Amino acid sequence: MSQLLRLHQFGSLDHLTLDTVPTRDLTAGEVRLQVKATSITQDTLTYIQGHLHPGENTPKFPITLGYEPAGIVTAVGPGVAAKWLGQRVAPVGPYDFIRYGSLGDEIVVPAERLVQLPDNLDFAAAAALWVPYLTAYPVLTAALTVQSTVLITAATSTVGQAAIQMAKAVGATVIGTTRSAAKAQLLRKTTAIDHVIVTGENDWTATLKSLTASRGIDLVFDAVGGTEVASLTAAMAPGGTLIEYGVLAGLTAPLPVADLLSKALTIQGFTVSEIIENSASRQQASQAILAHVSQGDFHPTVAARYPLADFRAAFTQLQRNDRIGRVVLTI
């Protein structure tokens, strides 16, 4: 028997219960994982509240949730190499959480997503690794040097923190933005960031210009979009690149044509599914990230750890949004 967090209807955390259920048999391409840690995320909380993506069907309840576990392989299904038995792993998500939900003590995951963990990465940190670092992967692959200046918006997010570590790994100067003065202080204390701008205070665009006036920004990694795009391109260096990976300010933005033309800027869209859904890209990116983890360059941030049985307290902290880093359930 296994213990799994299951949602019995949309609405609130009251409909999420820790259920004891029969351990299901493995089918081809699957492994059983003894979970040691698993992250809970804002998108899981949004899903619990019933906010579905356009075109997404209402599931048949009860359902499992979560896609960021780490643990030990205890059994392999047909067609899966026996070498995985006993290995410390963290499967790369997201994947089908209704079939392979990770919020429990013993789960089934697709073997094709398994990645073996280095010895210096504990299970809680491993459960906070893949989605943030794979989303920030374009920063790692950018042609940055010690002379580069990088701007990361929404820098207090887990993706933002991963991007900071990637840029600092090559010695670049890093500027981050956040809407929260309290989180700005946390960011200064917990990362190697060079400058933090609180966008809700005074004229943040003037502060940005003063920090970059001598040279401009070489790479912008932007989660916000919207009308701020023009402010970002105005501060960019000639030949710079703006990577848009989020739409916190909405799906539309005015195109800063004058800056694009006069500075020969590049605007690039990116979603993490480009990596995750492609086996070769997923393997290449995950191994590159783990190499930096093994060297001590990357440190996934865990804000809080809760026993599985205290899941309500964990989700309550997630709702407060007053932390930097992942909230993790431990088993």
Give tens-digit pLDDT for 222-254: 999 998 899 999 999 999 999 999 988 877 888
Which tokens belong to 252? 């539309």
Report whether 118 contacts 129 (CB < 8 A): no
Give CA 290 to chain center in angstroms: 15
Are 313 and 265 found together in one domain? no
Can you give the C-alpha Rg of the chain in angstroms?
21
Is residue 207 exposed (0-12), middle (13-18) or buried (19+ Cβ within 10 Å)?
middle
Whichever domain contains 240, its CATH number is: 3.40.50.720
- What was the pLDDT predicted at 214? 78
How far CA 198 is from CA of 205, 221, 288, in Å, comes to 10, 16, 32
Q: Which domain holds residue 261?
A: 132-273
- Sequence-ordered list of residues with C-beta below 8 angstroms from that of 124, at least 6 positions apart, any chain: 36, 37, 70, 302, 305, 328, 330
pLDDT under 70: residue ranges of the chain? none
Are 111 and 78 found together in one domain? yes
Are 124 and 29 found together in one domain? yes
If one counts the domains in the chain, the total is 2
How many Å apart are CA 224 and CA 245, to the nearest integer?
8
3-class DSSP string for 155-213: CCCHHHHHHHHHHHCCCCEEEEEECCHHHHHHHHHHCCCCEEEECCCCCHHHHHHHHHC
- Sequence-ordered list of residues with C-beta below 8 angstroms from that of 202, at least 6 positions apart, any chain: none
Pairing of strands 266-269, 302-307: unpaired
Sheet holding 236-244, edge to edge: 195-198, 173-178, 149-152, 217-222, 236-244, 266-269
The sign of the torsion formed by the CA atoms of 77, 82, 85, 91 equals: negative
Q: What does DSSP assign to residue 84? A: G
Whichever domain contains 24, its CATH number is: 3.90.180.10
Are 181 and 110 found together in one domain? no
Are 247 and 198 found together in one domain? yes
Q: Angle at Cα 303 formed by Cα 53 and Cα 312, nearest 5°?
A: 60
Report whether 70 contacts 37 (CB < 8 A): yes
